[in-house]
C-alpha cells in the first residue's frame, strides 16, 4: 500500500513537472495582445495549438509525427551541404558531420564540416559550425587545421536564410483562419 502511494506521488509530481515545463518562454509584451481571444485566434491560425473538433476527425488514422524534415534548420543545413558526402548524421543528437571532400582540382586539399544544432529556433546562435582543412603532401603526410572566419560565417548565413524561407513557408501553409470566437 505504501509503494502504491509513493508511486502515485511520483507520477503526480512527474505530471506536474511536465505541465510546468511545457510552458514556453514568455513572449514580448509589445507584440502580444492582452486580449485572450486574439491570442487564441493568432495561435490557432499559426498552427500552434489544437482544436478539439479537428483532432477527433483523424481518429481512424495514425498519429501525427514530427520528423527531421519538419525542422527548418536541419533541412536548410542538409540543402546547403548537399554536394558533400555525409559521414555522420544524427537528428536526435543534433549534429551533421560531412566526410572529407575535395573538388577534384586539388586532390591534396580537402575540407570537412561539422554542424551542431544548439536549438531548433531559427536564430544566429542556433548553430555551431566548424570547418576543417586537410592538406597532404606527396608522401601522404597530412596536416589538419580548423578554420574560422569567412567560410563559417557564409555557411551560417546561407543556412539561416534558407531556414527562414522554410519557416515562412511552413507558417503560410499552417495558416487556417479561426472562426470560433468573435473578437470585439
Residue with grid cell 555551431, as numbered in its chain: 128
Q: Which backbone phi and psi does 26 adopt, to 5 degrees? A: -65, 145
Neighbours of 131 (CB within 10 A): 18
3-class DSSP assignment, residue 178: coil
**Considering the domain 68-170 in this protein, what is its CATH number?**
3.30.530
Nearest CA-CA partner of 180 in 61, 50, 59: 50
Cell of 150: 569567412
Sheet holding 86-90, edge to edge: 86-90, 95-98, 109-117, 127-136, 142-147
Each residue's pLDDT tens digit, 110-129: 999 999 999 888 888 989 99
Nearest CA-CA partner of 155 in 119, 123, 125, 131: 131
Pairing of strands 109-117, 95-98: antiparallel
Cell of 114: 561539422
d(CA 158, CA 154): 6
pTM of the model: 0.57
Enumerate residue ranges in the chain where pLDDT < 50.
22, 24, 52-56, 58-66
For the chain, which residues make up each domain, given as ranges?
68-170
3-class DSSP assignment, residue 96: strand
3-class DSSP assignment, residue 148: coil
**Taking the chain, what is the end-to-end CA distance rounded to the nearest angstrom?**
54
User: What pLDDT sits at residue 64?
Assistant: 44
User: What pLDDT sits at residue 79?
Assistant: 92
Amino acid at each position: 500500500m505504501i509503494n502504491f502511494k509513493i508511486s502515485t506521488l511520483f507520477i503526480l509530481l512527474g505530471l506536474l513537472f511536465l505541465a510546468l515545463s511545457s510552458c514556453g518562454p514568455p513572449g514580448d509584451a509589445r507584440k502580444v495582445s492582452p486580449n485572450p481571444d486574439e491570442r487564441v485566434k493568432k495561435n490557432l491560425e499559426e498552427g500552434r495549438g489544437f482544436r478539439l473538433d479537428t483532432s477527433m476527425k483523424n481518429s481512424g488514422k495514425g498519429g501525427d509525427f514530427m520528423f527531421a524534415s519538419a525542422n527548418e534548420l536541419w533541412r536548410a543545413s542538409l540543402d546547403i551541404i548537399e554536394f558533400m558526402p555525409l559521414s555522420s548524421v544524427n537528428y536526435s543528437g543534433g549534429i551533421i558531420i560531412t566526410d572529407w571532400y575535395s573538388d577534384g582540382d586539388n586532390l591534396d586539399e580537402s575540407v570537412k564540416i561539422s554542424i551542431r544544432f544548439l536549438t531548433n529556433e531559427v536564430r544566429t546562435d542556433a548553430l555551431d559550425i566548424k570547418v576543417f582543412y586537410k592538406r597532404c603532401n606527396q608522401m601522404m603526410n597530412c596536416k589538419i587545421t580548423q578554420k574560422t572566419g569567412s567560410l563559417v560565417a557564409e555557411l551560417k548565413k546561407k543556412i539561416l536564410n534558407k531556414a527562414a524561407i522554410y519557416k515562412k513557408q511552413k507558417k503560410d501553409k499552417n495558416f487556417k483562419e479561426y472562426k470560433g470566437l468573435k473578437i470585439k
